[in-house]
Each structure stands twice: as C-alpha cells, then as structure tokens.
Structure 1
Amino acid sequence: MKKNRNFKLYGIFGYPLSHTLSPAMHEAAFRRLGIDANYVVLELVPAAFKKLMSRSSKISLSGFNVTVPYKETVMKYLDSVRPEARAIGAVNTVFKQGKRWVGTNTDMEGFLRALMTDGGFHPSGKKAVILGAGGAARAVVYGLAREGVREVLIADCFPKKARKIAGDMRKLFKRVVYQAVAAGTPEVKEALQKADVIINATPIGLKSQDPRVVPEDWIPQVRRAKVIPRGRATQKASHGLKFFMDLIYNPAMTPFLKSAKKKGHRTLNGLGMLLYQGARALEHWTGRKAPVDVMRQALLEALKNKKEQWMMDGGWRMAKSQVYRHPPSTLRHPR
C-alpha cells in the first residue's frame, strides 16, 4: 500500500483519558480544512509517558496536546517553551518548528476568550475568587492578571499551593493584590460576597456524589429593583450580580453553577474554554485559521453521544474503543 506523505498524526497524552472530547473537535476541523490527519487518544501511565518523551525526537506525531497529569512533566522534554507557558508553569499544546518541539499554553487563551467572548465579562479592575490551585488555576490567575484584574483570592485545600501561585504571579503582575487561603474558611465566604467573578478550577462537580465546592448559602442572592420607566421600556437594575464560571463542561450545569443560577447570577461552564484552547492548538499545528463553529458543533454532538452511551451502558461503562494504550514503541518511526 502506498504511503500518503501528506498524512499527519496528532494526539493527546494524559491519564486517564476516557472522558476526552478532543478527538471529535479536531477531526471535524481537519475534515473542514481538507487536511489529511487523525487525532488519537494516547493514555499512558507515568512511566510509559516519560519513556516516550525521553525519545521525543523519534515520535511520529506532528503535534500533540497534554493534559492531567503531564502538563508540568512534559516541559523538561521539550526543545523550547514559550515564555507565557513557562510563567504559568504548564504546557498543554506542543507543536513543531522544524525538528524542534515547542511547548505553549492555550488553556489561558481559551479561558480568556470564553470568559470575555461567550461570557461577556471583562476582568479589568474587578475582584476574583479562584477555587483550586492546580495547573488550570495557574492559567486562570495568569490570564486574569494579564487582563488587569484588581484583586485575586485563591482558595485550596492545600493552601501552600495557593500561596505558591500567588507568590509566582506577584513577581509578574505587581499591581494585582493577591490573597491565598485554605478552602472552606471564613475568608472564602467573605470574598464571595465582594467578588465580581468566581471560578471553580477544581474537579469537584464532575461526579454526582461530589460535595459542593462552596456551600450554597455562601452565595449571595441577587437583589433586583425596578427602575423608573424610560419611554416604553421598563428597566431593572441588579444589585450584587456576579459572574460564576466552572471549568468543568460535563455536566454542563454543575451544582456550583446551579446554585449560582438559582441565586440569580450569570453562569458559564467550561465548554468554551475547551473549544477555544483546542482551536488555538490547531492553529499552532497547521498555520490555518480554526473553523470554530464546526469544532463547537462537533463538541456538542460528542457530548450528546457520550450521554447516550452512558445511558446504554447502565451508567457505569465508558466506551473504551477510542483510547490507545499501546506501549511507547508504537509511536516511533520504524527503524
């Protein structure tokens, strides 16, 4: 069989990966752009991932994504890391420049685009509360600080991690006021009352049995008051209206967002962030403008199919056929 020299292979590394929707949006984009390529799921345990990365020059991929738990690990195996990714401390997208592997962070770009374009929220001069202090939280805090947020409180069950983010970002964005506290403390409750935007950057809410990331009674109720009619239109003012964002996209409405919506606040889930970070990754790989609308539709269809599969499987067995668990040797060029 004649080999197509134009064929490209992309993929995502992580562990576990049965939940990922990335193949759906990227393969839809390849089809729309007329690119002969596939996007595969590469679920590797840590030892196998490190072994493969140590031989990265022989990997037959043209580019790849990296997710939990390898966003930090991958950095030492790359030839170059973009300054913003270095500052954030995590890489989620790797592309080629000649024969060199270059790492960047499109999570931060995806988050900001979702927040400002889909959410219509602009951080400049605002107060923010970030729940969580992992890699996603680092990207969120960096993005908010870059866009001129005034104050950021970071809360985590491991306050040392929150303090590390605050300390790192303080060196880069000195005008921002940072506070790092333990999750579930009175400081968090008080900050929720004063914040303009509250973001859940933890995995709490992925599972139905998860506890609430913050108690519902800590979320203030929006107060609405009628304004004097102007002409034929009657306007209403909202007092205490806040913006709540959850980086989780499945379920679309986590208990965190449901509580916020119930209290009258604006909400946004993480699907837009997933979409836009994927679009930027594709642009790094191909040099082409990503077909965002096509990718969005593919994500929505994939989510619908995953829910249907979940119901057909009795709610316990995930479809495993899309996940590759091959040893690293299968991703190297033949000798």
Structure 2
Amino acid sequence: MPPLPRPIPSSPRWLPNRAVARSAQDKLGMPAHVRALPVPLDTRHVAGGPAVTTQLVPSILYTPSMSTLVCVPILVHDEQQARADAMAARNLGADLVEFRVDTFYERLVDESEEPWKPVLRVVRESELPCIVTCRPEWEGGSYIGPEEPRADLFERLLVEPERPRYIDVELDAFRRSPGLLGRLRAAKAGSSTGIMVSIHDFDGRPHNLSRLLLELRDLEIADVTKIAIRARSLRDNLELFEILRQADTPTIALGMGVFGTPSRVLAPRYNALLTFASLRDESATAPGQLTISELLTRHRFRSISRTTGLYGVIGWPVAHSMSPAVHSAGFEAVEHDAVYLPLPVAGDEDPESSYASFKASLTALIDDDHLDFRGASVTLPHKSNLVRLGIEMGWDVEPFARACNAANTLTRLEEQWHVTNTDAPAAVDLLEREIGPVRDKRVLVLGAGGVARAIVLELLRRGACIGLCNRSQDRANKLIEGASVGVRALQTQVPGSIERTTPTRFARAHALINCTPVGMVGGPDETGLPIPLEQLQRIEGLSLVQDTVYNPPETSLLKAAASLGLATLDGVEMFVAQACEQFRIWTGHKAPASLYETIVRESLASKD
C-alpha cells in the first residue's frame, strides 16, 4: 500500500470551543496531554482560516509524539441525556465525545424549520470537546432522511460560534451529493472545526481500500482520515497498523468485531489520533467496541507507548477468558511494559483447516517487525496446533509438550521461541499439596481430551496409578496409547500405570480429577455431574475431588463431593497456578498469585 499523502492543510488535533475550554479548566484541570496556552488561532493553526484574536484555549498541534485520545460515542436521544452522558464520559476519563445525532436530527428535521439548533446546544453545553456525526443508514448509521438537511447541519456546525472540534462526513457522501464538497469548503474557510472524512465497511476489508484512501486524499478537505472495517482475522489489524505507521496526518484506523480488539487497544503504539470506547456495554456504536472502563483499567490504555510489547490469549472463543484481566494486573504490578489481549483465532471441526488458520495468524504476528509480539497463552482448540507449529518451525518445544502433544504457553526469549505446558504441572502440584506425592497413589481421571492427556502424562511421570474413565472407548484407548508412548519418550525411570476403567470397576482411589467440560458455564451440561453421585459414594479411600472447570468455581461435582465430606480443589486454583507460571516465564518475576485469585473469583462472582 502506498503511504498516505500529506493533505494541503495543517490542522490541529482538537481545539474545543471556549465554553468547553472553561469547563475543562475550571472543573477538571487539563488532561496531562493538553496544555492551556495563549495561542493565536491564525492560519498556522486553523486550516484555511483567517487570523483571529488570541484566545486562552487548550490547543494541540498534531505531532508524532502526541498521546492517542479516548473518544466516547454517545447516541443522542435528547439534549438532557446527551449532557448527562458527556459528563459521565468525562468522569470516566474520556478526552472527547462523539455525539451521534442520527435519529435525533432526523426527528428534528421533521419537527422544526431550524433542526440544527438543538444540535448546536448539545455542542455548546458539552463537558468535553466533541465530534458530531449524523451517520446515514447506507453507511451503517440510523439516519434515513434526505441528504440536504444533513448538508445544512454540516454547514451550520462549521460556521456557528459554538462549534464541535470535528464533524464526521463519509467519503461516500461526497459521491452521492456532488455539491457537498464545495459547500463544506466554503463553510470551512473561516472555521476552527475540522472535517473528519470516514470510510466504513461492516462486512470486511474493502478490496479497493488503497484506491479509497487516494480518493479521500484527492478531496483535499480532510483534516482527519478515519477507516473502520470489520476485521475478519487478526491479520487485518496488521494492515491497519501499517496505515497508521505510514500516516503523516491525523488518522484513525480501527477493526470492528471480535478480531479487531488489537487495533482499538494498541492505537497509541501507532500514534492514532484517537480510539473509541463506549460508555456502557449496551451503548456501543460499533461491533467489538470496548467500554471505557475496560480500555482504561483492564488494558491500561494510558500506559501504552511505542515500546509496549504484546501478549495475548489465542483460542476460539476467547471473549470470556480471565487471562487478560489477571495478566494485565500482573504486568502493572511489576511495571512490565506490555499489554495482554484476547487474540481470537477461529477453530474448525476439520483439524487441517484449524491448523492452517492458527499457523497463518500466529506467524503473521511473529513476522511483523513493528508489533513486538512477545508471547501468548494458547487455549482450546489450538494447544496441539501450537506443538505442531513449534516442531515445524524449529522452535524450542519442551519434551513434555511434545510427549503429550499439548502446550499452552508461547514465549520469545533471546530471539528464540519456546513452547511449554504449564497446565499439567500446575494441576498435579496442587494435588500433591493436598494428598502428598502421588507415587503409587490411585487417581481416577474423568475425560480423554487435551486437558486429560496432559494431566495423565504428568501423573504417570510422577508414578501414579491411574484409572481413566471416558464415555468413548476409542478416545480412552488412544489417550492411553499416547500416554504410554509419551512417558517412554520422557525416559521416566519408574513411571506409573494406567488402565481404562469405570468408576464401579476402579473401586479404590485416593483422588478423582474431572477433566471433562461437564459443569462448565456454556458447556454441554452446566448443572450435570460427570460421575453419578452413587458411584462417587462407593469409591473407597477417596479423600479429594479436583475439578479443572473454573467457571463456576463450585461446580455440581464439587458441591456433591463437599456434601460427602470430601476435600475439594476447584479449577480457579489450577487456572491461577498455570497463569502464575506463565507470568514467571514471560517476565522473570514471581506472579502476584493472591491478586490473580482475587481477580478471578470476584469476576466470576459478579457474573452470578
């Protein structure tokens, strides 16, 4: 893609009106990246405008070192609600707001001969600098009225004394209304309001994106370029980052949908003008938009710079993973300059298709010279894909991960990539904490998936006597065969033993470990038991029941075990233990385990 050409004007990043300036100075103090200076608003600062008298206003000129701003979009229903939401956005830390007046203005057009006046009042009374957008239905908005009143609104917003910092006009609007460009040029001649020209595609990346950007440049009216496309994979973020990297004027480039989160959070790394964050979950104006609390608190947006590294959790789905919350808090606790994000990579029932998707996405992240991707947690369905890719790429794949064909941790250390498994050691360490060394102890394992495979191998390596119980005999036999091969590959001197069994046949056991998704929120049987209660009661010598499911922390199985007077270990402890080991590998620091556990338990409790 060719670099974005420089526009003719040099424009300020944002310059609020006097009422907003007073509000910001009197009520808030200026944000850290805004300075109140006596600056003449002459042609050096206002594109195309004449020299005017000096005013004491906050002024920011666009430079490559500017902090990326946080803008909260507000769907305007009425003036009072707009004012209240702008104040709420200010209180939560927003730098500016976008008033989306789509349906509000459409209603005013039907009811008033001067429909722009209420919009101007909203602008005048805003607690923050603002963008005004009236998005038509044909560009993903809700305005379905004629174009002429919309053009009237743009003109008024450019020439009235109390103006927004920007108006957002779609590139396609200039095609649909040939006279619009001339009208806005004339209105803009003496205005301090900038024009943001935007490109949206809610289906995917436009095949002609480069041509659209050149067309936008050729208008010679855009003070800000905005691109918002639906990201179809993580790789789409990399192209958006490249657009930002090459831009020499204020630019916004965002990916919508679950795959677009990196573009929203990493905007400061690439000097984007701003990123959008919703006031509330239900008030998002685009798919995948984070709330301002998520952006500023969980993802520590204000701390992100050009040196910030990237970690994440790779899987499908990953939207509800606890990993971003705990690792972000851990990075903050030790002042590790990195961000940790959900990195969804679609899985597929076809293993080869799933592997191809995983390989394409992960290698793209690794190969991007400007991203500083440092590592990842890898979860279902890609744990075996990570081992396969690591072997194929010649990375350092630890023997245990090779043996169980499952890994959950990827790390870059000294320009070499390392693949490890922290799941199984964490689970068995916890078990031994409660019942002592597992050598020669009998452990009943329920399930034959990836989690069971890794835990079984770790138990065998430590000398346990394992009974494997699974509904599918074929899957159980394959696991046993693979575990036997794996333990030989690890050259364990005195390995344990394993047999396929049933709870009734495996009459004695010291511990039981559930490795099935039964009891998990969103799983196949949220309230079910992986083993009938009467069979659980009949197991002689049973002292502990461990569940790998962490949501909910107290599964139906653990409730049943507690009712029988048995000790229990929930999945939260295992999750925290494996996450702590990942943190140590990545940062060289001991993880704040108690903080991790508090975050997970409080988060899960809040969802009850």
Q: Same fold (TM over 0.5)?
A: yes
Which residue in the other structure is 1:291 paired with? 592
1:242 corresponds in structure 2 to 543
* Paired residues of 2:459 and 2:496 also in contact (CA < 8 A): no
| Cα gap change, 1:82 to 1:36, in 2 (>3 Å) | same
Distance 2:587 2:407 in 1: 18
1:262 to 563, 567, 578: 563
Q: Give the match for residue 441 of structure 2.
A: 126
Q: Confirm whether residue 70 of structure 1 aligns to residue 382 of structure 2.
A: yes
Cα distance change of structure 1 residues 221 and 159 upon mapping to structure 2, 3 Å threshold = closer
Q: Give the alignment of 1:25-174 within 5 angstroms.
A: 25-46=326-347, 48-55=357-364, 57-59=366-368, 60=371, 61-78=373-390, 79-117=395-433, 119-149=434-464, 151-171=465-485, 172=487
- Indicate yes or no: 2:495 matched with 1:179: no
Structure 1 pair 120/296, CA: closer, same or farther in 2 (3 Å)?
A: farther
Q: Is the 8 A contact 1:241 1:266 kept in 2?
A: no
**Cα–Cα, structure 1 residues 306 and 42, in superposed 2: closer, same or farther, change >3 Å?**
farther
Contact 2:387–2:401 under 8 Å retained in 1: no
Across the two proteins, how many residue pairs are aligned to each other? 283
Gaps of 5+ in 2: 1-63, 66-268, 270-304, 348-353
In structure 2, do the counterparts of structure 1 residues 121 and 305 end up closer, same or farther at CA, with 3 Å as the change threshold?
Answer: farther
- 8 Å CA contact 2:328–2:340 kept in 1: the answer is yes
Listed one character per residue, the Cα deviations across residues 76-115 of structure 1 (whole Å, up to 9, x for unaligned) are: 2222211111112101000013333211000012112322
User: What percent identity do the matched residue pairs reach?
Assistant: 30
Asked whether the equivalents of residues 14 and 43 of structure 1 are also in contact (C-alpha less than 8 Å), the reply is: yes
Shift of 1:284: 1.1
Root-mean-square deviation (CA, aligned residues, Å) is 2.2
C-alpha contact (below 8 Å) 1:14/1:68 kept by paired residues = yes
Q: Which amino acid is 1:195 matched to?
A: A
Equivalent residue of 1:157, what SS? Answer: coil
Distance 1:6 1:112, change over 3 A: farther
Distance 1:121 1:25 in 2: 29
Q: Residue 560 of structure 2 aligns to a residue in which SS? A: helix
Name the CA distance, whole Å, in 1 between partners of 2:467 and 2:457: 13
What is the CA distance between 1:243 and its match in structure 2? Answer: 1.0
Partner of 1:228: none
Displacement of 1:19: 2.7
Counterpart check, 1:203 vs 2:517: yes
Q: Report 1 or 2 for greater relative contact order, CA contacts < 8 Å, sequence distance ≥ 6.
A: 1
| Cα displacement (A) at 1:156 | 1.4
State the alpha-carbon separation in 2 of the partners of residues 36 and 246 from structure 1: 34
Match of 1:24 among 319, 325, 343: 325
Against the structure 1 CA distance between its residues 175 and 49, is the aligned structure 2 distance closer, same or farther, given a 3 Å change threshold? closer
| Post-superposition offset of 1:240 | 3.3
**Offset of residue 211 of structure 1:** 3.4
Deviates more, 1:48-57 or 1:120-129: 48-57
Cα pair 2:326 2:596 within 8 Å, conserved: yes
Does residue 536 of structure 2 align to residue 219 of structure 1?
Answer: yes
Q: Secondary structure at the match of 1:190?
A: coil
Post-superposition shift, 1:120?
Answer: 4.7
C-alpha separation in 1, matches of 2:385 and 2:528: 30
Unaligned runs of 5+ in 1: 182-186, 223-238, 308-335
Alpha-carbon separation, structure 1, partners of 2:406 and 2:463: 21
Q: Secondary structure at the match of 1:219?
A: helix
8 Å CA contact retained: 1:64, 1:93: yes
CA contact (8 A) 2:462 2:496 kept: no
CA distance in 1, matches of 2:543, 2:505: 14
2:314 pairs with 1:13: yes
Paired amino acid for 1:198 = L
Residues 440 and 496 in structure 2, CA contact (< 8 A), matched pair in contact too: no
Measure the CA separation in 2 of the matches of 1:145 and 1:209. 30
Structure 1 pair 241/52, CA: closer, same or farther in 2 (3 Å)? Answer: closer
Note if contact 2:463-2:497 (Cα within 8 Å) is conserved in structure 1. no
Which of 281, 291, 294 does residue 582 from structure 2 map onto? 281
1:202–1:279 Cα change, 3 Å: same
Counterpart residue number, 2:191: none
What CA distance in whole angstroms lies between the structure 2 residues aligned with 1:101 and 1:306? 37
Asked if 1 retains the 8 angstrom alpha-carbon contact of 2:445 and 2:467, the reply is yes
